[in-house]
Structure 1
Amino acid sequence: MIVIGRSGQLARALAGQESADLTVVRLGRPHLDFRTVCDTTALLSDLRPDIIVNAAGFTDVDGSERTPDAAFRVNCDGARRIAGSAAALGVPLIHVSTEYVFDGFSNRPYREVDSAAPLNAYGRSKLRGEAAVAATTPDHAILRTSWLYSPYGRNFFTKVLEKSGASAEIPVVADRHGSPTSAFELARGIERVARNLLAWRDSRRGRGIFHMTCAGETRWAGFASEILRNTGCTVRPVTSDSFVELARRPMNSRLCNDRLSDVHGVVLARWQDALSEVRTRYGEVGR
């Protein structure tokens, strides 16, 4: 399995899925850089992959508003190049996308058939990337996820813990709903989808768009409260307009995972249970 994205939290979690019958090779800068023109097909061909997972992305939501060209270069143009390489090599592609392709106005979890209407440049770049993948290779599975976190790098989980060290109370948005998704759970789900795609090579089974998040739902403030349990730091729930953000965010980030379960037989753990594992791994990272 070739994973596009070398140091991102999902790429690092996918590396942990390596086993006796699964070799994971991560590719990223400087060898593969979407900011430059490089022959991705030649690079990937030398590695002879059975399947490719594109976990790379320009994920800075506010940064995408400031530099939309950079976001589209990675999330759309880069996705198209990887899809073209997968098609040229005759291997399946798993492309990771986001709930930000939706506007968040629905009062229920979004299904794959619901109309996309992104509110910001990041969501638009990811939606264009999905379309580029679908138009370039039919042998694909696009996996939309939400509220991804891990012990690695800068994400909601690590930022909340960082802020808790400097304050006894932190303000957190309480009017946005979603499903916190551990990078480790997502990586396990991706591995199972990858094995299915390889097993179903002679059919179109398992292809298309799927939603993949941890089970259950909460609000950002509820997620933060669980992160901070037993730390002595408390959460002060606030509304979204309490923060100055360049990009608009969806108020409803919930995704319906029924199609994933029906087709691939994949159901991720409850977000509360997945959080326990991330807490443990966070301590092992060495902070």
Structure 2
Amino acid sequence: MSSGGDDAAAVGGVEGGGGGDGELKRASSKKKGGGGGSPPVRVTEEGAIFRSYRDGREFLLTPESTVLAQKSLGADIIIPLDELPPYHIDRASLVDSVDRTHRWEARSLAQHLSDVREQAMYCVVHGGVDRELRTRSLDYLTSLPFDGYAIGGSLGKDASELSDLLRWMMPLMNANVPGSDVDRRSKPRHLLGIADEPSVLDAVINGIDTMDSCYPTRLARHGTLLSRGGKVHIKSGRHSRRYGMPIDPECGCSTCRNYDRAYLWHLFKAKEPVFMTLATIHNIQYMNDLMARQRQLILEDKI
């Protein structure tokens, strides 16, 4: 179980995209009756101060407290607190953000090493699409005793820019720093906040070991189901009479074994909460099957 991903430890939004998660969006939206709400997050050197969109209370999230929370949850892989600036940001602000993130990650690592508990901690390499900052971040963070390397922050404005970033960045993770005894090649590489199928396949080809994202479950909640024949938009009326037809005939998940598209269409249209459970079960199984195929191709030396 990893505690990384789209909305776990990053302050400022979703890894990879630069947009905020649902809670932050609600908190920053204008209140009824006019007038804007105050910012939901304030970043200081100590950490991030969050304001609850429910009752307005503030609480401080620090590098140390996020580590302790993840340890309490029993996470196998702990992701340190980092700041996620938007894609469009001036370089001076990006430099300040990267430097602050480095200080936070060093504090997180110190907290983790004080009580390891057979848990791992990955660093999060930042720098947006700036090659010099990415290289500096990688060199600094890999000099510290993290157990693995995650790539986070803004990963480009689209899939093409993400692919370009991985093509020039991943070779750096295979190259040890001259005069250093750190073996970068011996540690796993993780990509934060990415799980759409084209980006996943491209990441695997470029040497990424693991990824995490709420993408498959978010799609499921909104009625988009993944299949080997392409995405199934279950709200479409064409599915209302597809009795006996599973989402994906090749899928072995419990949803595909027991429910057809017509019933799932009914659940979605009736706003039955069980739809989200059934759809999520299927989309997660689809992603697991996808990654199993990639692992097999690696074992067969086809990737």
Task: Please indicate, yes or no, whether the TM-score normalized by the shorter chain is above 0.5.
Answer: no
TM range, smaller chain: 0.3 to 0.5
Which has the greater radius of gyration? 2
What is the TM-score of this pair, normalised by structure 2?
0.35
What is the TM-score of this pair, normalised by structure 1?
0.37
